[in-house]
Amino acid sequence: MGRYLTGAGAVALVWGIRMLLLIMTQICVVFSGILSFSTGKGGLAVLMVLGFCVLAFFLFQFLLIPGMVRLYLNICRGQEAGVGEIFWGFHNHGGKFLGIGILALVLGAVLITPEIILALAAEVTGDWRFARLFLSGYNLLLAAAGIYVSLTYGQFYMILADDPAESVLLALSRSGEMMKGSRLRLLALWLSFLGWVPVVCLTLGVSLLWLIPYITCAQAFFYLEVKARWSKDQE
């Protein structure tokens, strides 16, 4: 019971931090808008403040992820674990995790750029037929690629949280090696969680305090299993 409370407490704390960051972002935007309105200029400043706040919000998430992962790994291993573990990424190789966050944002921007350009072109020309066809195919391709990458390199953060001294490229390579022959098992694990969707809806999301620790621990146990098998194969 105590370990469940630790996991649920970590989830609640992360939710609280995210809500506080969102509120601070809104305050910054509103304050910048008031200044812009009162001075009659400064629209660019409002956009810059908004961009900075959004960037800071997402990068903060990437510093929380390794701490959350490490917390649940400790819980699943029966080791000492406390809610404060979620801040582990801030003082352990924080630059590396920030770099991962920046690369992820850059990659996301690159992937969405063709959609933005095509949508703007279709809006100018008024011809959406090709745009709709391309966007549908492109989004399906991105979804398929995203699923494959997640199944192949989904142990990436587990590896780095387990061994923070590991290089990013080596962690990606090791995840790919670990997941050989286990992708379908991981996909089946993910699909097994879909049955909880109605419960989350009926409880207005409150059940996530129990469900998120359950799902994260299930994935942590999966990682520990594939890691043990991979380590045995290396011997």
The answer to whether residues 161 and 69 touch, using CB atoms and an 8 Å cutoff, is: yes
User: Residue 207 corresponds to which tokens in the numbers above?
Assistant: 């059940």
CA distance 210 to 158: 21
pLDDT single digits (tens) 41-63: 555 666 676 677 777 777 888 88
pLDDT single digits (tens) 165-180: 888 889 999 999 999 9
pLDDT single digits (tens) 166-215: 888 899 999 999 999 899 999 999 999 988 888 888 888 888 888 888 88
Distances (CA, A) of 229 to 5, 164, 221, 222, 232: 30, 21, 12, 11, 5
